Structure 1
Amino acid sequence: MLKTRVITAVVLLAVLLPVTLFAPVAGFGALIAIVLVFGAWEWARLLKFTGLAPVGYAVLAALALAASTRLGIGVRAARPLFEAAAVFWVLAGPFVLVRKPTLAHGAWRLFLIIAGLVSLVACWHALVAARVLGVSFVLSVLLVVWLADIGAYFAGKAFGKHKLAPAISPGKTWEGAVGGWLAVLVVALIVMASHAFEPTLVSTLVQRIGVVRALLVLTVLVAFSIVGDLFESMLKRQAGVKDSSALLPGHGGVLDRIDALLPVLPLAMLVIG
């Protein structure tokens, strides 16, 4: 399993990193679009669509994404999409985690069919808008989620005692969540002090809203990275699967890798917009 995970990770890095660093924005956008269309296929499967229905949903997502490009590229052009996605994650996300409704049935299923399209299309626009602002900027946004995840993993392993959401994801702890938050803030403070790799999400936030508010925004983003992770975990638990798919051997599916990014990206771009 470890060998499979390592091979998959190396292949993903070999494709994603050069495209992110060196490809034009159009090339970067095309690759992200392909990834998110696969994510749409997985989203439909988690809503218990069968047969060709998940493929149809993926095609619908591709068409919605193509149509959305008529809004233009950039933070201001995509602001309505970011706002719609933010409303979903800020209101529906926590509600679902607290009340635990049946998501793949009735009105919730219909709602999530629409919400999935909005979230995935908004994610594409957020990543492309971030890439327009610079390679260092898009990487810094991704780093917030990666640091929160890595910090949570090691802090949870070392200190985790109090379960964060035992009915949804038994492995997550409050100590891990705090550890991930501290990892993000420590790195953010280092970036502020060194003025390295600008522009970054941190430097942009500090310039626009000041240090204290920037740290508060990062705290909110870390919190919603957890919401995104737990939301997908709940979808998987209700669907009776461990991973969103087996597209990435050893790593699960696309949604398993981007679940925390789905709420963080539109929220981050809204704040800097």
Structure 2
Amino acid sequence: MLYWRLILAAVAISLVLGLAWLDQFGPRPGIFMLPLALVCAWMCAGEIMGLYEKAAAKRLNLTVREVRLERTESLPWRPLVYAGTMLTVLLATAPMTLYYPDGGVSGRTGWIAWGLIAGLILALIYEMCTYDGPDQPPGTIATRIARSLLAITYAGGLTGFLVQLRIISGGVWESAEHCSWGMLALLTTIATVKMNDSGAYFAGHAFGRHKMVPKLSPGKTWEGIIGGFIGSIAGAMFFLGPVAHWLGCEYEQPMRQWITSVVIYAIIVGIAGVLGDLAISLLKRDAGVKDSSTWMPGFGGFLDLLDSILLAAPVSYALWMGHVVGP
């Protein structure tokens, strides 16, 4: 298990850093990393749908294939979820692709909201077109719409904030130097969360004695959480220190103030990452499965790999926009 985790972690890190290097010198910020965001959002949406289907199969004592064919248990329509997810991520790129450096009339994050609203409209139109009359169980339509929006918001909306992090301090009208701040914001978010995951994993295995939430995530311990925060602080300091200097993102700030800001940022983003991990654990427990899928040995699925990053993305974005860190 650890062998596969190390191999896939090395591949994932190499892929992200390679795309980041290309993106840094691309014609527009985010242009080379956008395909990766779309693929991840698509896969996460599919895995959330898979969790819905597995939960329904378990309750009805059917196979997942039978559940998909019969569309039982108020399951959303997969193409609708995929469409809403992709639309939300693509609209998040509007400040970059549609030449709105300040976000236009919607502001920067407002484009994500438009994507979610579009997903709701699509879900409502679909239900209107497929409505068969009052014979179906009460609440079926509302449940199906709610599940569609949960998948679209989690897979598309949260991924949209990763896109927003990349273009946080620049747009197509700013120089490459200014756009480096967006790259720094994105890489710092990923590093802070993943260093938290790694610190928690190793500290939990070495010193873990006191379970944190055994019913939800039996492997999590308070000792691991402490190790995770140490890891997130180390990751944030490295990326907001040496890496920021390498990217040319310099700003004047007293050392004590810089350390305080970085520690606050690392702890808050680390907490958000832990909550993201627990959120997907909740959905997996509901579906009665250990992993969101079997795509990646040692990790599980895309949700297992990205759960902490996704929920941490809007929190990190708020901290950057609030100038807790950055210029």
**Normalised-by-shorter TM-score class:** 0.7 to 0.9
2:161 is equivalent to residue 126 of structure 1: yes
Distance in 2, matches of 1:67 and 1:126, equals 11
Q: 1:219 aligns with which of 267, 285, 308?
A: 267
Q: Is the 8 A contact 1:44 1:54 kept in 2?
A: yes
Instruction: Give the equivalent residue in structure 2 for 1:42.
Output: 47
| Counterpart residue number, 2:68 | 51
Letter in structure 2 aligned against 1:39: C
Aligned pairs for 1:184-263 (under 5 A) are 184-189=232-237, 195-198=241-244, 210-211=257-258, 212-263=260-311
CA contact under 8 A between 1:244 and 1:255: conserved in structure 2? yes
Please give the alpha-carbon distance, in whole angstroms, between the structure 1 residues aligned to 2:239 and 2:299.
30
The verdict on how the C-alpha distance between 1:5 and 1:181 changes in structure 2, with shifts beyond 3 A counting, is closer
Cα pair 1:224 1:263 within 8 Å, conserved:
yes
Question: Quick check: 1:78 aligned with 2:108?
Answer: yes
| 1:27 aligned residue (23, 32, 35) | 32
SS at match of 1:259: helix
The CA distance in 2 between the partners of 1:110 and 1:174, in whole Å, is: 37
Question: Structure 1 residues 161 and 46, CA, compared in 2 at 3 Å: closer, same or farther?
Answer: same
Aligned letter for 1:16? Answer: V
- The percent of aligned pairs where both chains have the same amino acid is 28
SS for the counterpart of 1:216 is: helix
Is residue 61 of structure 1 aligned with residue 107 of structure 2?
Answer: no
Residues 1:174 and 2:222 are matched in the alignment: yes
Compared CA separation, residues 252 and 75, structure 1 to 2 (3 A) = farther
Residues 264/6 of structure 1: CA separation in 2 closer, same or farther (3 Å cut): closer
2:108 maps to amino acid = A
Question: Aligned in 2, Cα 1:175/1:111: closer, same or farther, shift over 3 Å?
Answer: farther
CA RMSD of superposed structures (Å): 3.5
Q: Is the 8 A contact 1:75 1:270 kept in 2?
A: no
Structure having greater relative contact order (Cα 8 Å, sep ≥ 6) = 1
Larger Rg: 2
Q: Measure the CA separation in 1 of the matches of 2:309 and 2:144.
A: 22
Change (3 A) 1:17 1:222: same
Give distance in 2, aligned partners of 1:6 and 1:188. Answer: 21
Is 2:93–2:164's contact at 8 Å kept on the other side of the alignment?
Answer: no
Per residue, is there more helix in 1 or in 2?
1
Match of 1:116 among 151, 173, 187: 151
Partner of 1:94: none
* Aligned-partner SS, 2:195: helix
Any conservation in 2 of the 1:32–1:124 contact (CA below 8 Å)?
Answer: yes
Q: CA deviation at 1:162?
A: 1.1
- Rounded Cα–Cα distance in structure 1 between residues aligned with 2:222 and 2:112: 29
Could you tell me whether the CA contact under 8 Å between 2:109 and 2:164 is conserved in 1?
no
- Unpaired runs of 5+ residues, structure 2, are 57-66, 70-76, 115-139, 168-178, 322-327
Task: Look up the match of 1:17.
Answer: 17
TM-superposed CA distance for 1:114, in Å, is 1.6
Deviation at 1:110, TM superposition (A): 4.6
- In structure 2, relative to structure 1, the CA distance for the partners of 1:272 and 1:142 (3 Å cut) is same
CA displacement at 1:250 relative to structure 2: 3.6
Count residues with an aligned counterpart: 249
2:312 is matched with 264
Q: Secondary structure at the match of 2:291?
A: coil
Structure 1 pair 271/11, CA: closer, same or farther in 2 (3 Å)?
A: closer
Q: How does 1:82-93 map to 2 (within 5 A)?
A: none
Once residues 189 and 222 of structure 1 are traced to their aligned partners in structure 2, the CA distance between those partners, rounded to angstroms, is: 13
Q: Which amino acid aligns with 2:165?
A: A
* Displacement of 1:22: 1.4
Structure 1 residue 142 corresponds to structure 2 residue 181: no
Check whether the contact 1:243–1:256 (CA below 8 A) recurs between aligned residues: yes
Gaps of 5+ in 1: 85-104
**AA partner of residue 51 (structure 1):** R
1:153 paired to 2:201: yes
Q: TM-score, normalised by structure 2?
A: 0.64
